[in-house]
């Protein structure tokens, strides 16, 4: 075929969609430019509009929330629970009591650890409200041997440069709804109608994944299980080495789950003589990167005007933010480099 020279999607895009959908056990997938774009398209597919309420995990990155605002809807933030650090089903029930008719619920699987997704889905089903899973951090993680991102109406994955597998940028939207996924592909390709000329009847977006990026994704998908093993080894090494320090707790591994351990994260007891900033500064002196746990959305200046639903007087999300540290977790980190991180942290308690 001799081409005019305009952009044409190649085979890698279709194949990456098929292979990712097959890996996670979903029926259909749309390869997009970012996980944020995938969330945006999920909300557009749900016809979320101005005035609609969307329940959203409080402890997350702002990319989970921003697409709600893109559609001029209203987020209501739901506190975490201590077992998984994810959305608290009890707080979600409380939110439904206050706001009986939200348009959707979006739950995050934080740092690759599955939320109490079956409980959350049961609550959503009871209220006949669609569930969206932000599995940007949890591709490959499972709950009762079922992949995160496949419990709700829509699931989102990210292949950003910092994720467990990466295409440097990119995301995926998965669903059992073939018609909606086809519509998302249409919107994501500037909503171009089938015509010889360029015809547009709807507003479109430049959200489609490129063929080159998809090709990288296909290669990365082949090593996902290996990456999960490596990330799990890093987590288990930290856990073993810190067991004798009573002040340190690793992010819990809930029953019946297999996290992908995208990041290994610790929290410190409230009365610990060592504070998170002490750890971060000690590592920084050795040119070692670490960072705080996500700052809760209800504390963010841009979102502070929106409602926040909690069960306890002191929000769990705030406690985690105040006490947590994300440790170096890159699979390229050598054993010696991880041992150095551990030694620096242990020395703070001597």
Consecutive sets of 10 residues in the chain, 350 residues long: mean pLDDT of each? 56 96 98 97 98 98 98 98 98 98 98 98 98 98 98 97 93 97 94 86 92 96 98 98 96 96 97 97 98 98 98 98 98 97 97
Alpha-carbon torsion 97, 102, 105, 106, what sign? negative
SS3 188: helix
SS3 108: strand
pLDDT of residue 69: 98
Measured in whole angstroms, how far is the alpha carbon of residue 202 from the centre of its chain?
29
pLDDT of residue 9: 64
Q: Which two tokens stand for residue 55?
A: 């329940």
Q: Is 155 in contact with 26 (CB distance < 8 Å)?
A: yes
pTM: 0.95
pLDDT of residue 6: 46
pLDDT of residue 193: 84
Beta partners for residue 267, in sequence order: 249, 324
- CATH code at 11-221: 3.40.640.10
Beta-carbon contacts of 22 under 8 Å, excluding residues fewer than 6 positions away, are none
Right CATH for 224-347 from 3.40.50.150, 3.30.1490.20, 3.90.1150.10, 3.30.230.10: 3.90.1150.10
Distance CA 40, CA 184 (A): 10
Within this chain, domains 11-221 and 224-347 share the same CATH topology: no
Q: At what angle do helices 224-242 and 335-347 cross, to 10 degrees?
A: 30
Beta-carbon contacts of 34 under 8 Å, excluding residues fewer than 6 positions away, are 158, 160, 169, 170, 171, 207
Beta partners for residue 78, in sequence order: 57, 309
Q: Is 173 in contact with 209 (CB distance < 8 Å)?
A: no
CA distances from 164 to 221, 251, 282, 312 (A): 10, 17, 26, 33
Pairing outcome for strands 74-78 and 131-134: unpaired
Distance CA 260, CA 287 (A): 26
Going from N- to C-terminal start, the domains of the chain cover 11-221, 224-347
Q: Is 134 in contact with 111 (CB distance < 8 Å)?
A: no
């Amino acid at each position: 075929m001799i081409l005019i020279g305009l952009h044409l999607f190649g085979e890698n895009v279709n194949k990456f969609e098929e292979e990712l959908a097959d890996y996670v056990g979903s029926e259909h997938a749309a390869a997009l430019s970012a996980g944020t774009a995938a969330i945006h398209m999920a909300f557009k597919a749900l016809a979320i509009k101005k005035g609609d309420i969307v329940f959203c995990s409080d402890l997350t990155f702002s990319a989970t929330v921003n697409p709600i605002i893109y559609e001029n809807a209203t987020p209501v933030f739901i506190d975490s629970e201590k077992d998984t650090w994810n959305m608290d089903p009890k707080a979600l029930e409380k939110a439904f009591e206050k706001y009986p008719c939200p348009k959707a619920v979006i739950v995050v699987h934080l740092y690759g650890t599955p939320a109490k997704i079956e409980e959350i889905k049961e609550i959503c089903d009871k209220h006949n409200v669609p569930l969206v899973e932000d599995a940007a951090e949890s591709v490959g993680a499972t709950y009762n041997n079922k992949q995160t991102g496949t419990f709700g109406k829509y699931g989102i994955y990210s292949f950003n440069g910092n994720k467990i597998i990466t295409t440097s940028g990119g995301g995926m939207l998965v669903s059992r709804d073939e018609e909606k996924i086809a519509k998302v592909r249409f919107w994501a390709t500037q909503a171009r109608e089938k015509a010889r000329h360029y015809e547009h009847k709807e507003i479109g977006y430049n959200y489609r994944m490129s063929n080159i990026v998809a090709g990288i994704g296909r290669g990365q998908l082949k090593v996902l299980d290996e990456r999960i093993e490596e990330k799990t080894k890093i987590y288990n090494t930290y856990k073993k080495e810190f067991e004798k320090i009573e002040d340190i707790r690793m992010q819990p591994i809930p029953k019946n789950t297999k996290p992908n351990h995208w990041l290994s994260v610790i929290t410190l007891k409230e009365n610990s003589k060592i504070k998170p900033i002490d750890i971060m500064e000690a590592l920084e002196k050795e040119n070692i990167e670490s960072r705080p746990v996500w700052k809760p959305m209800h504390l963010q200046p841009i979102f502070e005007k929106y409602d926040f639903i909690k069960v306890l007087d002191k929000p769990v999300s705030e406690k985690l933010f105040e006490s947590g540290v994300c440790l170096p977790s890159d699979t390229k980190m050598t054993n010696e480099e991880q041992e150095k991180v551990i030694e620096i942290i242990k020395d703070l308690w001597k």
